[in-house]
Amino acid sequence: MTMNDAHCHFFSPGFFRTLSRDLPVPPEDPALALPAMLGWEAPETNEAIADRWVAELTRHGVSRAMLIASVPGDEAAVGAAVARHPARLAGAFMLNPTAEDAQARVERAFAGYGLRMACLFPAMHGFAIDDPRVLGVCEAAAFHKRAVFVHCGMLSVGVRRKLGLSSRFDLRKGDPLGVAAVAVRFPAVPFVIPHFGAGLFREALMAAEAAPNILLDTSSSNAWIKFHPGLTLRDVFARALDCVGPSRLMFGTDSSFFPRGWQKAICDNQRAILTDLGVDMTAQAGFFGGNFDRVFG
């Protein structure tokens, strides 16, 4: 069975340089100093990280992965990774659509770097999902036949927490129902809501019911279930499969840094749940690989 991971993070040297701007005293070389503080491997170059990812994916039998540039303005870094291994890596990029150069960055990312998905974080960057500038991003995605990812629900950035940095997010902005209102205006654009809505599970299912071009990714530990007493991840999968079907669920792990690497335990847990629920192998093949190829090419 082909396995593709729809949600991994690409921590480039530029990622650490951007992150260091929020420190009281930024180190001289953030790409070396911050990973050392975190106990992570320091990235040498974008190409070296791409090689590291491909070796890791090969070790675990993963065919392809979506790597997300995890700070705004880092799309060239993940573009370099994709250019180095186009058969194994697809690229996505975080975008703040309220930035002055946002539309130019979208065009460059889609048309120049060949990235497959724009990633929006309304709670992080403080914009409404139906902001006209977001609609401009969706128009570009429609023109270039790309996808749009919208983080909804609970948002916590682990690396910021580990570095003692505050995260002033407005969680009210991340409502999946807002995604549905936009998605129905762009029926040819796949919209991806990660982590089953990250705590807004009911709303994510309602959004997907309203807009058939919305998909849910299953990435991360899905620790948000603690906000729903009695709910288990098995329950989440069962309800999602019943409401949206296996063709609109995409497997992901939320893997990010090394040496931890690709999170096989998340894959094993999700596979065990699908098997326990009696999901047939054709549907599992779509979930683990086929849906990724259909959405991202």
Residue 179's pLDDT is 98
Q: Buried (b) or exposed (e) across 212-223, using 16+ Cβ within 10 A?
A: ebbbbbbbbebe
In which residue are the tokens 């129902």 written?
177
Residue 20's pLDDT is 96
In which residue are the tokens 């549907």 written?
283
Tens digits of pLDDT across the chain (297 residues): 899 999 999 999 999 999 999 999 999 999 999 999 999 999 999 999 999 999 999 999 999 999 999 999 999 999 999 999 999 999 999 999 999 999 999 999 999 999 999 999 999 999 999 999 999 999 999 999 999 999 999 999 999 999 999 889 999 999 999 999 999 999 999 999 999 999 999 999 999 999 999 999 999 999 999 999 999 999 999 999 999 999 999 999 999 999 999 999 999 999 999 999 999 999 999 999 999 999 999
Structure tokens at 130: 């139906």
pLDDT digits (tens, 9 = 90+) for 182-214: 999 999 999 999 999 999 999 999 999 999 999
Q: Is residue 282 within 8 Å of residue 239, measured between CB atoms?
A: no
Distance CA 132, CA 138 (A): 10
Sign of torsion over alpha carbons 27, 33, 39, 40: positive
CA distances from 269 to 168, 220, 282 (A): 32, 11, 19
Domains, the chain, with CATH or none: 4-296 (3.20.20.140)
Residue 243's pLDDT is 97
Distance CA 254, CA 194 (A): 10
Distance CA 114, CA 87 (A): 13
Residue 186's pLDDT is 98
Distance CA 145, CA 117 (A): 9
3-state secondary structure of 120: strand
Distance CA 266, CA 224 (A): 15
Q: Is residue 210 within 8 Å of residue 191, measured between CB atoms?
A: no
Residue 225's pLDDT is 98
DSSP string, 147-200: EEEE--S----HHHHHTT------GGG--HHHHHHHHTT-TTS-EEEGGGGTT-
Please name which of 188, 210, 208 lies closest in space to residue 197, comparing C-alpha atoms: 208
Q: Is residue 290 within 8 Å of residue 1, measured between CB atoms?
A: no
Distance CA 210, CA 183 (A): 9
Which residues face 50 on adjacent strands? none
Q: Phi and psi (nearest 5°) for 193?
A: -105, 115
Please name which of 89, 142, 151 lies closest in space to residue 115, comparing C-alpha atoms: 89
**Helical pair 132-144 and 176-183, crossing angle rounded to 10 deg:** 50
